[in-house]
Amino acid sequence: MRYYVASDIHAYFSIFRKAPEDAGYFDDPGEHKLIILGDLFDRGTEAVELQQFVLEEMKDGRVILIRGNHEDLFELLVTVDEGMPYEVHLRNGTYLTALLLTGIEPAQAADHPAFAAKARETPYYRRILPSMLDYYETEQARRGRRRGGEGPEKRGLPLRLRPELSTGDRRGRDRPHQNVERAEGGARPLRHHRGRARLLCRAAPPVGKAGLY
């Protein structure tokens, strides 16, 4: 089995797709899978195209999805925050993603509960998010814990389980929250990885360039 690995696509689908294409992913005759290490959406504007691509790869059983902090933010927006455009969602692009995937105009999104309900009907929320693994559910994480590595109890709970973001306290949503990690601009290379894995891009355009590292 050969694995192709990408991370932080952030809805820059055109830039992302060139990386597996150049790496031979689509023409690979052997067993192979694509691993995406979180942060599928937010920031870019090709959310619909990326959603369709992921659904097709899921249908063929060729993709492994790891959940990132932006997936947590989307769930927060459409559940606890009921579609409200708090600054944390505007700054991180989560609100834009919900607009793109629902096809709702900003003026229509002013009906926040209806907007959130519509977002919960998207394939992203109904099919893609439930299929994602948390890092601590992966074999790599289990191996790390057996070697004495840090577990979630040491490194902090996932965003959606942190009590300060799941209570009535709105302060953490009216401004960028200290526990919300925000990606910086520019493409960042992935480290070399041993084994049968082709590392693609960690895309954070607009000034990034997809490729192999």
Alpha helices in 120-183 (DSSP H): 123, 129-131, 139-146, 152-155, 171-174
Given this model, what pLDDT does residue 134 score? 85
CA distance linking residue 15 with residue 110, whole number of Å: 32
- Per the confidence metrics, is the pTM higher than 0.85? no
* 36-45, 116-125, 181-190: the lowest-pLDDT one: 181-190
- pLDDT tens, residue by residue, 136-180: 665 655 555 555 555 444 444 444 444 444 333 343 444 333 332
Mean pLDDT for the stretch of residues 94-113: 96
Task: Return the domain boundaries, the chain.
Answer: 34-181
Pairing of β 32-37 and β 2-7 = parallel
Collapsing DSSP states into helix, strand and coil, what is residue 31?
coil
Task: Kindly report, residue by residue over 114-144, the tens digit of the pLDDT.
Answer: 999 999 999 999 999 999 998 666 565 555 5
Q: Which residues contact 204 (CB under 8 A, 6 or more apart)?
A: 8, 10, 43, 183, 184, 185, 186, 187, 188
Mean pLDDT, the chain, whole residue set: 76
